[in-house]
């Protein structure tokens, strides 16, 4: 089905990036998954080829394109099962904070090298005792002269081992809730900053995911991003794009699971005929294909609206929760159609099943998405 939101330039870019993935990423995915981390060299190659910052201004080294170019990168990496390359986190979640709220000095120091692939970015929101409730973060950044002194702990931080710069969500005024939150830029070599272990996960094996510790970590006041106390508003402003990224990636992963399963059931035989000939198989895949087409149409509608600059917080909350739940459903039912082979690691559908699990958890749990939707419908508090 032709997707009307993409023009000829987008398609040429997709073809180009698909070739890059096929030659420079796909041959290494199993190796990187086994290592639990992706080498820095691939980030540099992505930067050299212009794949980190397609949507960033040309004056800072970006391509000056629209968000659809970034969406293509998300889709192609997800379809290739290259979840080990956390380009969306770097480009579509972290970079916008620097581009929108950073000073010219901060952009020169961090944004330009990040687009070039020389500075890997991470954002530290989640804490051991605080998940979706950002107003309750316990990490403190208390001003002391020309520095902030940061104390606290973060966990489940993607790119936590590789990152050169962390955007840290911290309380600069512990007496306040939302208005006490600020975003602090912490260099990985800052004194008092320590990376914890690379956490072992059931899925997304090639993504380094870490604990972080701040012990009297001194950061120059010039590393404050935006205004003090404006951190929560900044986070809320950027979460629309973050949640859209989840919806876009989910659809691409669903497409890959379905494509592989359709091919498998055509070749796998039972009782003397391909299992694709059984009505149950046909009905299951027909239903999943229908739901995928509906989900993809909705995701494309959201992409178009986001590129126009529309405020679509409610809709992306729907897309994030519905798309990620559908991804889990498709992976589970496609694994079932693989039979015992689906439970074997050598069949990629097993990885799809494990990788899908976190989609409904990060970027705000799906339960939180439903709270947002309900409140914006005028329901509840």
16: number of Cβ within 10 Å? 13
| Banded pLDDT at 135 (limits 50, 70, 90) | confident
| Banded pLDDT at 1 (limits 50, 70, 90) | low
Residues 303, 304, 308: CA angle, nearest 5 degrees? 115
- Report the pLDDT value the prediction gives residue 353, as an integer from 0 to 100: 98
Asked whether the predicted pLDDT for residue 381 surpasses 80, the reply is: no
Handedness of CA 58, 63, 65, 67 (dihedral sign): negative
The pTM for the full model equals 0.95
- Report the pLDDT value the prediction gives residue 6, as an integer from 0 to 100: 97
Residue range 262-306, pLDDT digits in tens: 999 999 998 999 999 999 999 999 999 999 999 999 999 999 999
| Banded pLDDT at 111 (limits 50, 70, 90) | very high
Share of the chain above pLDDT 90, in %: 94
- Report the pLDDT value the prediction gives residue 129, as an integer from 0 to 100: 83
Share of the chain above pLDDT 70, in %: 99
Residue range 220-255, pLDDT digits in tens: 999 999 999 999 999 999 999 999 999 999 999 999
Asked whether the predicted pLDDT for residue 114 surpasses 90, the reply is: yes
Give the domains, in start order, of the chain with CATH numbers.
Answer: 8-118 (1.10.540.10), 122-229 (2.40.110.10), 233-376 (1.20.140.10)
Handedness of CA 264, 270, 274, 280 (dihedral sign): negative
Residue range 187-199, pLDDT digits in tens: 999 999 999 999 9
Yes or no: say if 170 and 140 are a contact pair by the CB < 8 Å rule: yes
Residue range 334-358, pLDDT digits in tens: 999 999 999 999 999 999 999 999 9
Q: Which residue has the tokens 């701040």?
A: 214
242 is catalytic: yes
Between CA 248 and CA 93 the distance in angstroms is 14
- Average pLDDT over the chain, rounded to an integer: 96
The single residue of 76, 127, 242, 315 carrying the catalytic annotation is 242
| Banded pLDDT at 130 (limits 50, 70, 90) | confident
Asked whether the predicted pLDDT for residue 154 surpasses 90, the reply is: yes
């Amino acid at each position: 089905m032709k997707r009307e939101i993409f023009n000829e330039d987008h398609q040429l870019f997709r073809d180009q990036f698909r070739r890059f993935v096929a030659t420079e990423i796909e041959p290494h995915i199993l190796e990187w998954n086994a290592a639990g981390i992706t080498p820095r060299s691939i980030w540099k190659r992505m930067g050299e080829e212009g794949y980190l910052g397609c949507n960033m201004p040309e004056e800072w080294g970006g391509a000056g394109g629209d968000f659809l170019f970034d969406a293509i990168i998300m889709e192609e990496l997800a379809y290739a099962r290259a979840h080990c390359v956390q380009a969306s986190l770097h480009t579509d979640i972290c970079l916008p904070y620097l581009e929108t709220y950073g000073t010219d000095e901060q952009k020169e120091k961090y944004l330009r090298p990040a687009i070039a692939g020389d500075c890997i970015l991470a954002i530290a929101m989640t804490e051991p005792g605080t998940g979706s409730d950002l107003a309750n973060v316990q990490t403190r950044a208390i001003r002391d002269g020309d520095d902030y002194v940061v104390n606290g702990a973060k966990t489940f931080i993607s790119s936590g081992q590789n990152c050169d710069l962390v955007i840290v969500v911290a309380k600069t005024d512990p007496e306040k809730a939302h208005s006490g939150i600020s975003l602090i830029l912490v260099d990985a070599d800052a004194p008092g900053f320590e990376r914890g272990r690379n956490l072992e996960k059931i899925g997304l094996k090639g993504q380094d995911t870490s604990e972080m510790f701040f012990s009297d970590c001194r950061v120059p006041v010039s590393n404050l991003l935006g205004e003090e106390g404006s951190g929560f508003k900044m986070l809320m402003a950027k979460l629309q794009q973050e949640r859209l990224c989840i919806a876009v990636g989910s659809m691409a992963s669903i497409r890959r699971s379905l494509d592989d399963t359709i091919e498998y059931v055509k070749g796998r035989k039972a009782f003397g005929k391909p299992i694709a000939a059984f009505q149950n198989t046909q009905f299951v895949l027909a239903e999943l294909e229908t739901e995928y087409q509906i989900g993809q149409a909705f995701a494309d509608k959201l992409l178009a609206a986001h590129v126009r600059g529309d405020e679509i917080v409610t809709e992306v909350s729907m897309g994030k929760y519905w798309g990620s739940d559908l991804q889990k459903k498709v992976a589970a039912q496609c694994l079932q159609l693989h039979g015992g082979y689906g439970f074997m690691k050598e069949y990629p559908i097993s990885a799809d099943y494990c990788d899908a699990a976190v989609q409904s958890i990060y970027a705000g749990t799906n339960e939180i998405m439903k709270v947002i939707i309900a409140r914006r419908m005028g329901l509840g508090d």
